Structure formats: C-alpha cells, structure tokens
Amino acid sequence: MEPCHPILARAAPEGSDWCHEVKHDGWRLIAHKDAGRVRLWSRTANDLTAQFPAIAEAVGALTPAVLTLDGEAVVFRPDGHSAFSALRSRRAARAAQMIAFDLLEMDGDLRGEPLHERQRQLERLLKGAPAALKRSETIIGRGPEVFVQACALGLEGIVSKRLDARYRSGRALTWLKIKNPAFVRR
C-alpha cells in the first residue's frame, strides 16, 4: 500500500476544514497486522519489522484482526524533540515509538472515509495502547499560528490535512508539508 505523500507548501492553510500536526523528524512507517502477523514498512517499501520490534509488538497487541496504520517511527530525546540519528542506533529497537496519524484499515478498508472519521477511530483504537504506539495530536484550524509555534519550539514543521479528505496513495493537495526554514536536524 503506497502511502499518501504531502506536498511542500510555503504557508499553512487557514480555516476549520484543515487540521495540523507536528512534523516529527523520523522515518515514515506503515504498520500492517493480519491474523496476528505484523509487518512494518518504510515509505519506499523496505521491511523494517526486525528493526523496530517494540513497535511491531505494540501493533500486534491491538485487538482488530486486520489493521493498517500510517505514521512515523520516532526516537525522542529527553527534551521532547525527535532525534533522527537515534533511529540508526541500537537502542532504537526498543526506544522508537510509532506516532500514528492515520488508520487505513481496521477489519475493512477505511481509506474511502473522511480523515476526521479515520482519526476518530484511530483515537479509540489507541486508547490504552502500549507505550510504543502514540496518536499524533491534531489542532483544527489556526494553521499559521500552529506553524509559528512549531518553529518557535525548533520543530521540523507541520503537516496540514483537509478533514474531509479520503486517503489516497501518492501526492495529494489535501496533505501539505510546511517546513521550518531554521530547523536543525538532531
């Protein structure tokens, strides 16, 4: 399943029909569970299951028999910032978390549902989930303010998504990436 790819934009959109999330500095990750077997893939279809066993175990512990999550594998530093270089370390196998931002499948294909519905179901699914799985927090509306705050915190930027958008593979104008021009990778 090819993931949706955000399009680089110069500014965050305004309006209550958009939500905004922190752009973590990590590896894009698709997690798929089917009848107890869990596989983790990068956005370029590399199998990362063995590299992130804690994430794979956490996905396996979720109750649906079939599910697919879209998110980012991230290792957080003590200051709360993500550390891209830590994903290549030995400790990443247990320290990495999947920050899930979309639910594509849960005992049935959800890609045709609007984002706000997929996010509602994702929130319910991840309540009480193991520590290696977190839901990406979203803010509805106020895109320019969210972006300014992300930059002030030294984050990579934000991803803005239309709440009524269906999930589609490839590049989509309903997912925008707004990068912090002063971001420094850690």
Cβ atoms of 92 and 86 within 8 Å: the answer is yes
Active-site pick, 23, 33, 134, 161: 23
Other residues' Cβ atoms within 10 Å of the Cβ of residue 76: 17
Distance CA 52, CA 96 (A): 7
How far, in Å, CA of 99 to CA of 29, rounded?
9
Q: Spell out a b/e string for 143-158, using b for 16 or more CB atoms within 10 Å of the CB, else e.
A: beebbeebbeeebbbb
Q: Is 23 a catalytic residue?
A: yes
Task: Please give the C-alpha separations between residue 184 and each of 6, 25, 27, 154, in angstroms, as whole numbers.
Answer: 20, 10, 16, 8
Cα–Cα dist 6/2, whole Å? 13
Active-site positions?
Answer: 23
